[in-house]
Structure 1
């Protein structure tokens, strides 16, 4: 029994620093993982904020278009249709019925 105890004392004495080193290493790995996750989350949040900002600007423009000068969408759509219809009619080749012949 005394031989066993004499053998265990150095093994335990060497195991304590090994466990301490391993624990410190695990702690550093956990800190690095947390840091990487925080950086990725911050980057995603910045991208999201940028996207939201762009969408807000677009909505502001649309609101300004709709509310400025009593904007009437249906009237303008009809005006565009009338313009296109007139362009389609004018796009033909003009006929010349009075043609002088050269000799």
Structure 2
């Protein structure tokens, strides 16, 4: 049975409930026994454990080696760390340029 990682676990739980899943109702956990009760959903076809990003380290099906491989694949794809200073600096420059362009446009309209 899968563990799911999402940026929006409460929304995911709500969607599962709307499809008939019993979530956070202390349903018996046959397979995902380490899933926190408030993140556990039972469906007719199986079980799901929904984790938010802050709880990712508690997942049991994804190992530290899996996370390292994922980060390495992101580094290789972007040419630098996806979470590194280069990316943040680039975003800052882009935001600053956009603000300056908006200010220049606003002044030109006056």
Greater strand content: 2
TM tier, smaller: 0.3 to 0.5
Greater helix content: 1
The TM-score, its normalising length taken from structure 1, stands at 0.36
The TM-score, its normalising length taken from structure 2, stands at 0.34
Greater relative contact order structure (CA < 8 Å, 6+ sep)? 2
